[in-house]
Structure 1
Amino acid sequence: MLVARNAEKLDEVANDIRNAGREVLTVAVDLADPGAHARVVEETLARFGRIDALLNIAGAVPQVDLFDMTDAQWDAGFALKLHGARKLTIAAWPALKAANGSVVLISGNSAQFPKAPYAAVGTINAAIVALAKAFADRGIADGVQVNSVLPGPVMTGRRRSYLEHWAPLHDMTVEEATAQFPKEAGIARYGEPEEIADLMAFLVSPGARWMTGSAVRMDGGEVKAI
C-alpha cells in the first residue's frame, strides 16, 4: 500500500512494483486531513486483510529561520510529519497488534543538533524520536515493534531540485554544488534513498525483532557525537 499526496508519482512507483510481479494499491491523500488515516487503514485491510508493517516517511518541512517562520508554516510541518505519523500509527495499531507488526518512523539526524535556520525540522524530528519511543513502550505489551530512523543528507528528488536551483545563484555547476555540500557536512558523499530503504527493510525483518524503541542514525558520519 502506497500513500502520498501526488497521484501521478504514486502511479509511477506502483507501475515499477507491478512490473516486478508484485501487487500494490495506492491512495492519494493528504495525511494532514481529518479522516485520511482511517481511510488508509480501511482500504489496506479491505485489499490485503492485514497490516504487517507501517512505514511513516511523510514530511517536507520548510527550512525557515526560527525568527522568520510563521505560525502557519510551523503548524503545517507538525500536522504533516508528526501528527500524520501519530494518527496513522494509532489508526493502524489494532491491525498491527493482531499481526505482531512493526512500525518505523522516519525522523532525521537534525533531531540531535537543531539549528536556528532549520528550527522546525530539528524540533519535529526530535518529537518523532520521542513519539516512536512512546509507541514502542506501548508496543512491548501489545506485541508491536516500533523504531525510528534518522537519515542524514540523502540525494532525493527534492534535494536534487534544490541543488539545481542553488548552483547557478552561486556561479556553480550542479556537479560542483553536489560535491561541495557533503564536504561542508563532513561526509564523503550524499546517501541514496535505497540505502535508507535497506535499513528500514531490516528493521521490519525477523532479524531485528528484538530492536524496539531504537533511534537508528544513518548519515555517513555527519553527526560526530556519541
Structure 2
Amino acid sequence: MRAGAHRHGQLLGPAALQACLWRVQDRQVRVARARAVVGHGAGPQGIRVNSVAPGPMWTDKVKDFIGSLAASRGMSLQEGYDEVAADMDLRRLQSPEETADAVLFLASDPARAVTGHCLVVNCGEYHH
C-alpha cells in the first residue's frame, strides 16, 4: 500500500453450508469459491471477503414446520424440537439474533484480520 493511501472494506455475504465444503460441486460452491478468489485479489487493497453459513434457526416458520411434523407423528412441539436439536452439539437451534451476532462480528474491527473465511454458525450440527 502506498504511504498515505488508506483503503479498506469488506464483502460479507451469506453462504449455504455446502458452500463451505470443498467436495460438493454445485452453484453455491462455485459462488463461494469465486468469493475466495475475489478475496485473494482484494486482500492487497485492504478488502476482506468472508461469508456466514447459518444452520437451522428457531423462527416462527421453523416452529410451525416442526410443530406440524411433530403433530403428524403424535408428538408435542417440544418433543419434535428435541428430536431435531438432538443432532446438534448444543442441543438447540440458534436464534436469528445469534446468526446476526456472527455477521456483526465478522463486520467488526475485532475481526479485521479475518478474511477468506466461511463461518459456520449452526450450534454444532455439522463440523468441517
Q: TM-score, normalised by structure 2?
A: 0.75
SS at 1:102's partner residue?
strand
Q: CA deviation at 1:124?
A: 4.6
Q: Which of 1 and 2 has higher RCO (CA within 8 Å, sep 6+)? A: 2
Please identify runs of 4+ aligned residues in structure 1 that moved more than 4 A. Answer: none
Task: Return closer, same or farther for 1:180/1:105 CA change in 2, 3 Å cut-off.
Answer: same
CA distance in 2, matches of 1:133, 1:153: 24
Task: Give 2:48's aligned amino acid.
Answer: Q
Contact 1:105 1:128 in 2 (8 A): no
Task: Return closer, same or farther for 1:128/1:185 CA change in 2, 3 Å cut-off.
Answer: farther
1:94-113 mapped onto 2 (5 Å cutoff)? 100-111=8-19
Q: CA deviation at 1:176?
A: 1.4
Structure 1 gap ranges (5+):
1-97, 114-118
CA distance in 2, matches of 1:155, 1:136: 31
Tell whether 2:86 aligns with 1:178.
no
Tell whether 2:45 aligns with 1:137.
no
Tell me the C-alpha RMSD between the 2 structures: 2.7
Q: TM-score, normalised by structure 1?
A: 0.46
Task: Give 2:116's aligned amino acid.
Answer: G
1:1-226 mapped onto 2 (5 Å cutoff)? 100-111=8-19, 123-185=26-88, 187-225=90-128
Q: CA deviation at 1:189?
A: 0.8
1:86 match: none
Task: Return closer, same or farther for 1:203/1:189 CA change in 2, 3 Å cut-off.
Answer: same
Contact 1:109 1:219 in 2 (8 A): no
Task: Return closer, same or farther for 1:125/1:219 CA change in 2, 3 Å cut-off.
Answer: farther
Q: 1 or 2, which has the higher helix percentage?
A: 1
Structure 2 gap ranges (5+):
1-5
CA distance in 1, matches of 2:56, 2:34: 22
- Alignment: residue pair count: 121
Task: Return closer, same or farther for 1:144/1:190 CA change in 2, 3 Å cut-off.
Answer: same
